[in-house]
Structure 1
Amino acid sequence: MTETGALAAYRHCERIAAAHGRTYFLAARLLSPDRRRAVHALYAFAREVDDIVDGGAKDAAAQLDRIERRLLDRLDAGDPGDPGEPVLFAVTDTILRYGIARGHFRVFLDSMRMDVPGSPLFRDRYPTMADLRVYMRGSAAAIGLQLLPVLGTTVPLAEAEPPAAALGEAFQLTNFLRDIAEDLDRDRVYLPADDWTAFGVDPALLTHCRRTGRTDPRVRRALSHFIALTRDLYRAALPGIDLLHPRVRPAIRTAAALYAEILDEIERSDYTVFTHRAVVPNHRRLWVAAREFAGGDPRRPGLGAVTTGNK
């Protein structure tokens, strides 16, 4: 392995993050170069796996098995391997460098198998929030736990893990709310059935809303409920940011603030999630990042509203 090869592998991951993870990429720019590279590697690995799952290949489950074996083999050898395989090299190097528990990657890959038709773990519907949390333990909470050793904490790692997991779940639920239409097109409903049912919503009504592009009042009330649940998770997660290394706090606050503002955008659009993908405008994203880097403002919207319950 050469230093040039390793640097090229990390730069490849950076390009993936820049192309697909706008919020994470912007927030990572507030980190030191070494932490930034590690975050890009973790993101690129998750994205590469997600692309396999969403690509619909018949051998997707087998591909996940191969990735897991190759990752674990390299970790067992203590060697990131060939930088010509840039994502696998960079994520292995990051795991070894920061001592990230490999169990977080096993749990993540198991959740990805839950998205693969034909896998014994496959699910396209979730009856309860408890069922969904089994999925989010790998798809969301594990991502937060992977990041903790990279970011650094001012307390023992175990003390910072619950709020980190909560923030990962808040991000994931925000994605589910934003991507309802896209998921319906793939015949998936992640948000739990019993919560929908409490508002008189069933899969047929969701399909009707997608087909007509109109958000039924019952669906609108259910979405408001899910947004409230998601904001509760942000509230639970926010104290954990103060447990992180001081230099990384602005980056994580930026990511949390921008993701929380997706919920605001859904509300501003009057819940038009079946025809409109909620996006925080670029000028707003840059303003939030600049504000957090400058020390933040406790009266700010986004996270401020989540913290004080003013929405």
Structure 2
Amino acid sequence: MSDLRAAYARCRALNARHGRTFYLATRLLPPSQRPAVHALYGFARLADEIVDSGAATDPAADLDALERLLADELAGRRTGHPVLTALADTARRHRIDPVLFTDFLASMRMDLHVTEYASFAELDRYVHGSAAVIGLQLLPVFGTVAPPAHAEPAAAALGRAFQLTNFLRDIGEDLDRGRVYLPMDVLSAHDVDRDLLAWSRRTGRPDQRIRRAVRHVMAVTLATYREAEGGIKLLQPPARPCVRTALVLYRDILEQIAAADYNVLDKRVVVPRTRRAAVALPGLFSALAARAGSGRLAWNRPDENR
């Protein structure tokens, strides 16, 4: 196995282990596109582990070192780091703007010192780098049937929707790390503060004020999914089943939150396996049909040679 192939295999393993819902959706992509998606996931996971695993003695320094290594890889200087090797190869093949990686790392650094956000406008500055740029990174991998700029708003919206969903699902876990991602003005409007969140997390007891705040953020998240959904038709047909499946499965997390009566501080909701299979199977048939009929309307076609 070549070093590059091994690097991509490492990223695939990270995706399969840590991003089960997203990994399931990637199985609907043409095989030629999957390695790039795994590489982008692998890099995001690498940075996330520096920030949140607790293993790093100086996470800020580790993020700086990661950024320097990435710059070396993007400049053609091999570092021997498998995830960065795969990422740099993906960035070159698909002409991904390096600024998107810089913006991502900037948001990861925010997690080291920012513990709450005053409003959605303030939160969105964080979410741009932590999630919207992921959608923009994936766009040249998937390809579009129109000028890419037309698809960029929806691609960024999908990243934001996924991140907001994570915030809602992981309120309790984030609170354990000292962070609150739900905007403070929304919480205050429903008479919720950190002490109330901590009480509910500690006791497992629900509170109507927290329920109302969660419903408020969920409504914003659902609107963001609607914005993102309209962009699926702008993608190359082989990528659409993957993106649609990921969207549906992640949006289903919100349904699970509602089914739990918005009591998510002491538990982590998941989409049942039966539901994941029910969504993925039609997606598989759509993916096979799209692959059979694709290749005639490309605006931009990624380099698929590997």
How does the TM-score come out when normalised to structure 2? 0.91
Q: Which residue of 2 aligns with 1:135?
A: 126
Q: Is 1:105 equivalent to 2:101 in the alignment?
A: yes
Q: Which residue of 2 aligns with 1:37?
A: 35
Q: Which residue of 2 aligns with 1:26?
A: 24
Q: Is 1:58 equivalent to 2:54 in the alignment?
A: no
Q: CA RMSD in A?
A: 1.3
- Aligned partners of 1:237 and 1:293: how far apart in 2? 21
Q: Is 1:153 equivalent to 2:126 in the alignment?
A: no
2:15–2:41 contact (8 Å) kept in structure 1? yes
Q: Which residue of 2 aligns with 1:255?
A: 246
- Aligned partners of 1:4 and 1:62: how far apart in 2? 31
- SS of 2:145's equivalent? coil
5+ residue gaps in structure 2? 288-306
CA positional deviation for 1:166: 0.5
CA positional deviation for 1:65: 0.9
Q: Is 1:88 equivalent to 2:84 in the alignment?
A: yes
Paired residue type of 1:70: L
CA positional deviation for 1:216: 0.4
Runs of 4+ in 1 over 6 A off after TM superposition: none
2:200–2:266 contact (8 Å) kept in structure 1? no
Q: Which residue of 1 aligns with 2:10?
A: 12
CA positional deviation for 1:55: 2.5
Paired residue type of 1:113: R
- SS of 2:270's equivalent? coil
Q: Is 1:180 equivalent to 2:179 in the alignment?
A: no
Higher-RCO chain (CA-CA 8 Å, sequence separation at least 6): 2
2:202–2:266 contact (8 Å) kept in structure 1? no
- Aligned partners of 2:233 and 2:99: how far apart in 1? 25
Q: Which residue of 2 aligns with 1:221?
A: 212
- Aligned partners of 1:24 and 1:40: how far apart in 2? 10
- Aligned partners of 2:142 and 2:92: how far apart in 1? 15
CA positional deviation for 1:23: 1.1
Paired residue type of 1:269: A
CA positional deviation for 1:136: 0.3
- Aligned partners of 2:147 and 2:64: how far apart in 1? 33
- Aligned 1:221-300 pairs, distance under 5 A: 221-295=212-286
Paired residue type of 1:202: D
- Aligned partners of 1:54 and 1:214: how far apart in 2? 26
2:28–2:283 contact (8 Å) kept in structure 1? no
- SS of 1:34's equivalent? coil
CA positional deviation for 1:73: 2.3
- Aligned partners of 1:114 and 1:251: how far apart in 2? 31
CA positional deviation for 1:211: 1.1
CA positional deviation for 1:75: 1.5
Equivalent pairs, count: 286
CA positional deviation for 1:274: 1.6
CA positional deviation for 1:293: 2.8
- SS of 1:242's equivalent? helix
Paired residue type of 2:280: A
| Candidates 140, 154, 169, aligned match of 2:160 | 169
- Aligned partners of 1:294 and 1:40: how far apart in 2? 22
5+ residue gaps in structure 1? 117-121, 297-311
Provide the identity percentage. 54
2:73–2:84 contact (8 Å) kept in structure 1? no
- Aligned partners of 1:215 and 1:146: how far apart in 2? 39
CA positional deviation for 1:66: 1.2
Q: Which residue of 1 aligns with 2:197?
A: 206
CA positional deviation for 1:35: 0.8
Q: Which residue of 2 aligns with 1:75?
A: 74
